[in-house]
Amino acid sequence: MSARSKARKRALDILFQADVRGEEPALVLAAEARRAASEPAREASWLYAREIVDGVIDHRPELDEAITTHSRDWRLERMPAVDRAVLRIAVWEMLHNDEIPTAVAIDEAVELAKEYSTDESGSFIHGVLARIGRDG
């Protein structure tokens, strides 16, 4: 598994944990940063995970608006917490990280959804992200 794939999993863990606990993602990120300091072997994945979470924090209203606009009759608060986190990560990569091709962001998000969410989540997330990708 690539360092960026591992980073996405770490970012997912942080965003999911914050959402489920009703905590600010920045607080969960700070706790994870303290733990990551003792794991130098995982530094490459940690740096990108932090970039993702910081990006989601900085752009959350824009990301949530894009998700809501393209999710076709699904309110953000009705989506499983894992799906919300996966979508926020992918939309941030699509809109704010020029190093990640849209197709890669979508594929990685679908794989995370298949591994950590419901049976239907992969196709739901693919559909939302494909619509966002088309609309730019």
59-76 per-position pLDDT tens digit: 999 999 999 999 988 899
Q: How far is CA 102 from CA 31, 36, 79, 81, 130, in A?
A: 30, 28, 22, 22, 9
| Domain positions in the chain | 3-135
Output the pTM of the full model: 0.93
Q: What is the pLDDT of residue 3?
A: 85
Instruction: Select the more confidently predicted residue: 33 or 102.
Output: 102
DSSP-derived secondary structure for 38-49: T-GGGHHHHHHH
Predicted confidence (pLDDT) per residue in 120-136, tens digit: 999 999 999 999 999 86
Predicted confidence (pLDDT) per residue in 2-21, tens digit: 889 999 999 999 999 999 99
Q: What is the pLDDT of residue 136?
A: 65
Predicted confidence (pLDDT) per residue in 17-73, tens digit: 999 999 999 999 998 888 877 777 777 778 899 999 999 999 999 999 999 999 988
* Fold classification of 3-135 (topology level): N-utilizing Substance Protein B Homolog; Chain A (1.10.940)
CA dist 68 and 127 (Å) reads: 13
CA dist 17 and 94 (Å) reads: 23
Instruction: Look over the chain and give the mean of its residue pLDDT values, rounded to a whole number.
Output: 93
CA dist 4 and 11 (Å) reads: 10
